[in-house]
Amino acid sequence: MKRLIILLVLSVVPLVACSEFQSYRLQEPAPVVSEEHGVGDLLAELHLTRTMSQDQLQKTLESWEQRFLDDPGAYNRLKLALLYATANQPVRDLGRARELLDESAAGLDSAGAQELASLVHQFLDEQIQANRKINDLNKEIAEQNKRIAELEQQQRALTRIEQKIQERDNPEDAGNGN
């Protein structure tokens, strides 16, 4: 009897558990930028650039720029702006990224693309402001270093004057080598 109960439990439990599964269906299509390109595709292409060498990255930039020249639509504009905004030097150009992004805002046809553009725009504003602050601080540091050098030079001159005064006041010490 015990075996029969165990057998029934083992055969019924998997059937009950499976009946609760429902297939997952996407209710709405994924957001698209345009030309049936999704924001995910755009970010995936951008992600591939992270592992590229400088030469590969430069070739990719040239390729994306050519695509943009051939078709200056919102998708290619946003894609190029993302590369300029997030790539390493010498490809990185925040000003160019901002310019491209400003021009593409009106042409984006999906909420996802508009949100991505908004986030990148905010990122660029913060980066540009941070770069300005860094430049200002670097100028202040250069001015402070110049002032420090001037003060050190004045200190050395005053030290020499003080030594000459002491030598003049104590001529016998100067002659003895003390």
What is the per-residue pLDDT for 46?
A: 87
The contacts found for 151-157 with CB under 8 angstroms, 24 or more apart, are none
Strand partners, 14: none
The pLDDT of residue 35? 46
Q: 24: exposed, middle or buried (C-beta count within 10 Å: 0-12, 13-18, 19+)?
A: exposed
Structure tokens at 108: 């984006």
Instruction: Report H helices in the chain.
Output: 2-19, 39-48, 54-70, 74-86, 94-104, 111-169, 171-176
Q: How confident is the model at residue 173, as a pLDDT?
A: 57
pTM (2 d.p.): 0.58
pLDDT tens-digit series, residues 108-154? 777 888 888 888 889 999 998 999 999 999 999 999 999 999 999 99
Neighbouring residues of 113: CB distance < 8 A, sequence distance ≥ 6 = 31, 32, 33, 34, 39, 74, 75, 78
Cα–Cα distance, 58 to 108 (Å, whole number):
26
Nearest to 102 by CA among 131, 77, 79: 77
List of residues 6+ apart from 60 with CB closer than 8 A: 49, 52, 83
Tokens of 8: 């029934």
Q: What parts of the chain have a pLDDT lower than 70?
A: 1-37, 105-106, 172-178
Residues 35 and 75: beta-carbon distance below 8 Å: yes
Number of residues that this document lists for the chain: 178
Element (H, E) at 32: strand 32-34
Domain spans in the chain, listed from the N-terminal domain onward? 35-138
What's the pLDDT at 139? 97
